[in-house]
A and B are shown apart, each in its own frame.
Chain A
Amino acid sequence: MNLKKVLSPAVMFAELAGDDKESVIRDMVTRLARARGVESQLPEMIRVVLEREEKDSTGLEHGIAVPHGKTDAVASLVAGIGRVSEGVDFASRDGKPTRILVMTVSPAATSGPHLQFLSEVVRLLKDEAQRQALLDAPTAEAMYNAMVR
């Protein structure tokens, strides 16, 4: 899938605020909702992402987590990538702190490529050099370029 269709520098967040999983997720959903102009739906968006996290942590390996949720409060896929430089505990499979969050909030009723977006980002970040490039990018713009180049 073409990441340019989903990502833009506006949904790349160089430093998320928060010192635990929930506060980092809340911060990222808030920034995403603001960037996409869906702030009125913020409580519902936070609820579905945290509800999914409750079922099982979305922390994967190599410092990557993919928090996501589905709700008809959004009309189309809302997605972005955020960083936590200090790392936060996501109960990841390899026990490492999470430093990269790949997030989606997608409509529940209509079909759409939300897992395809997540898997494409994960596929790219499988490469250590690519992960490092994303972590080293100084600005949101540079993060975007690192992902879509």
Chain B
Amino acid sequence: MSHAMTVLVLQLAVLTLLATLMGHIFQKRLHLPRVLGELSAGMLAGPFLLGRLVLPGLHQPLFPFADAGVLPVSVELYGIAVVASIILLFLAGLETDLPTFMRFAGVGGTVGIVGVTVSFLFGAGSAVLFLPSVQTIMDPRALFLGTLSTATSVGITARILSERKKMSSPEGVTILAAAVLDDVIGIVLLAVVVALARVQNGGVDWSRVGLVAAKAFGFWIAATVIGILVAPLLVRGLKRMQSLEVIAGVAFALALLLAGLAETVGLAMIIGAYVMGLSLSPTDVADQIRERLHGLYAFLVPVFFAVMGLMVDFAALRGALVFGLIFSVVAIAGKVIGCGLPALALGFNLRGALRIGAGMLPRGEVTLIVAGIGLSSGVIGPDLFGVAVMTLLVSSIVAPPVLIASFNGGSGYRRAEKSAAGPAARQVQLTLPSLNAADFLRGRIVEAFRSEGFYVSRVDMNSRIYRIRQDDVHITLDQRGTVISLNTDGKNEQLVRLILLEELVELRDLIAGLQKMDESGPGGGGRLGDDLVGGLFD
């Protein structure tokens, strides 16, 4: 027992160190997604490369081959990866913007559904065409390959769209809405496929397939509807304890609970975690929960990607290398055609359709989780797991340059460009005389909203963008240099203006007070800080 724990802790130490460093190098030096560095860290340290070496003090390899099981990592380490995948999908659910999704559900939904269908058929079809042992599209291996072709990792795309200020363009909102739907359909598909793989023995019993699909969809719908209805009441009750730590702790516990519940009814754990996140996403404490779990996320999620890297068996992949390349190309084609064609039909021109297709290319965590579940349940072997990782690598490397290049040139929309912002969106702007004054006033505004009972969170540490929420009120504060902008709907414009007005009055009063301090020295002619300077030489 203690030896197993020693090995686990040492494994975590090595994976955390390597994944952190390689993630950083990939992102900052190679300008590639961080996740690719973390995956590579796992491949490097894993039982198929350096991990097989016997360590002197340990008298055994750090990452030995697992004895009889199909997983080349220990149960303990895989358990930590499972918890990390629950955190990942819980936070993905929390980040989903339900109103935006609903607003662009039309075009985005069509692009998403057609994209998922085409990708699934391309993925599953290529298994039937190119893998001799797969005869039918209902073979669990074909189903798994189809499912892992559907998921889109919108993180990479979202970052590029945000950097190029295209998040609110018709292409941008279509990609985001389609990607949300992709996740939902992909996760329901996963539920069906996992359940199918478990019940299937040879022939396909279509009544059972229908039952499994109905159960998966039923669980998804019921859990989501109940979750969205109950979450606000739950949050309101928890707020009485006046501790955001308690709210975040209870929310995380519920995500674990729902994940376990999903597993016990025969579905994948990540479905439960995602549903819990989605249910809490419209509440005003969603950002606060995310902020408090971010530390856990930052440490465990790189370990998750590294563990997935550990499982890449290079020897097995060598045999499937050709299929891997074919599958990667098919997966890319599936998304570009599956998402580009409906976009073309719905008002975009060829340029816009290409942008949308390219934006939907990156694969990420869901692909790996699906592949990991396939591997751990024995449905796919290490060769096809390697193919999944290869597809992720290829699509994530190909997507960013294609997407960036595709956004050169004019509009991708044939119809008159509509603004993504709602009809009643309002912006209140204030230009300050200096950056220091703007920084100071921003801090005061944030505190003013907090003292009004709002929840304020910084979007990320590198920007000066804040999300301000209370019940159904959403306000964003964005400071660019000396300009402070607050965006909200028309209903809350008065509040924003009054808060700004109040803080300007306070700022002026503060300056007047400091000037008085200036004049209050001996004889009324002293300079600010005379006493402090004098003290330096006492």
A residues with a Cβ closer than 8 A to B are 55-56, 66, 111-116, 118-120, 122-123, 126
B240 at the interface (CB under 8 A from A): no
> A123 with B498: in contact, given A111-B452, A112-B452, A116-B452 (CB under 8 Å)?
no
B residues with a Cβ closer than 8 A to A are 448, 450-453, 491-495, 497-499, 502, 505-506, 508-509
Q: Which of A55, A114, A119, A120 has the most CB of B within 10 A?
A: A119
Q: Which of B448, B450, B508, B509 has the most CB of A within 10 A?
A: B509
Contact of A55 among B451, B497, B505 (CB under 8 A): B505
> A116 with B508: in contact, given A111-B451, A111-B452 (CB under 8 Å)?
no
Instruction: Check B509 against A113 for contact (C-beta < 8 Å).
Output: no
Instruction: Check B494 against A112 for contact (C-beta < 8 Å).
Output: no
> A123 with B451: in contact, given A55-B505, A55-B509, A115-B502 (CB under 8 Å)?
no
Instruction: Check B494 against A126 for contact (C-beta < 8 Å).
Output: yes
Which residue of chain A has the shortest Cβ distance to B448 in the bound complex? Answer: A115
Which residue of chain A has the shortest Cβ distance to B501 in the bound complex? Answer: A56
CA distance A36 to B451 in the complex (A): 23
Instruction: Check B508 against A115 for contact (C-beta < 8 Å).
Output: no
**Total A-B residue pairs with C-beta atoms closer than 8 Å?**
40
14 A-B interface contacts by CB (under 8 A): A55-B508, A55-B509, A56-B505, A66-B498, A111-B450, A111-B452, A111-B453, A115-B452, A115-B498, A116-B453, A119-B492, A119-B497, A122-B494, A123-B493
CA distance A116 to B497 in the complex (A): 11
CA distance A132 to B67 in the complex (A): 84
CA distance A19 to B62 in the complex (A): 87
Give every chain B residue within 8 A of A122 (Cβ-Cβ).
494, 498
Give every chain A residue within 8 A of B509 (Cβ-Cβ).
55
Give every chain A residue within 8 A of B505 (Cβ-Cβ).
55-56
CB distance from A64 to the nearest CB of B (A): 11
Instruction: Check A119 against B508 for contact (C-beta < 8 Å).
Output: no
Give every chain A residue within 8 A of B448 (Cβ-Cβ).
115
Instruction: Check A123 against B494 for contact (C-beta < 8 Å).
Output: yes
Which residue of chain B has the shortest Cβ distance to A52 in the bound complex? Answer: B505
> A115 with B495: in contact, given A55-B508, A56-B508 (CB under 8 Å)?
yes
CA distance A122 to B492 in the complex (A): 11
CB distance from B84 to the nearest CB of A (A): 35
CA distance A132 to B186 in the complex (A): 57
Which residue of chain B has the shortest Cβ distance to A68 in the bound complex? Answer: B502
CA distance A55 to B505 in the complex (A): 7
> A114 with B452: in contact, given A55-B508, A55-B509, A56-B508 (CB under 8 Å)?
yes
Which residue of chain A has the shortest Cβ distance to B512 in the bound complex? Answer: A55
CA distance A105 to B497 in the complex (A): 19
Give every chain A residue within 8 A of B451 (Cβ-Cβ).
111-112
CB distance from A120 to the nearest CB of B (A): 8
CA distance A112 to B448 in the complex (A): 10
CB distance from B296 to the nearest CB of A (A): 28
Which residue of chain A has the shortest Cβ distance to B473 in the bound complex? Answer: A116
Instruction: Check B499 against A115 for contact (C-beta < 8 Å).
Output: yes
CA distance A119 to B508 in the complex (A): 22
Give every chain A residue within 8 A of B499 (Cβ-Cβ).
115
Give every chain A residue within 8 A of B450 (Cβ-Cβ).
111
CB distance from B115 to the nearest CB of A (A): 42
Q: Which of B452, B494, B502, B506 has the most CB of A within 10 A?
A: B494
Give every chain B residue within 8 A of A126 (Cβ-Cβ).
494
Give every chain B residue within 8 A of A55 (Cβ-Cβ).
505-506, 508-509
CB distance from B365 to the nearest CB of A (A): 37
> A123 with B452: in contact, given A56-B508, A118-B498 (CB under 8 Å)?
no
Q: Which of A111, A116, A123 has the most CB of B within 10 A?
A: A116
Instruction: Check B491 against A113 for contact (C-beta < 8 Å).
Output: no
Q: Which of A111, A114, A115, A118 has the most CB of B within 10 A?
A: A115
Give every chain B residue within 8 A of A123 (Cβ-Cβ).
491, 493-494
Give every chain B residue within 8 A of A118 (Cβ-Cβ).
498
Give every chain A residue within 8 A of B508 (Cβ-Cβ).
55-56
Q: Which of B499, B502, B508, B509 has the most CB of A within 10 A?
A: B502
Q: Which of B453, B491, B495, B508 has the most CB of A within 10 A?
A: B495
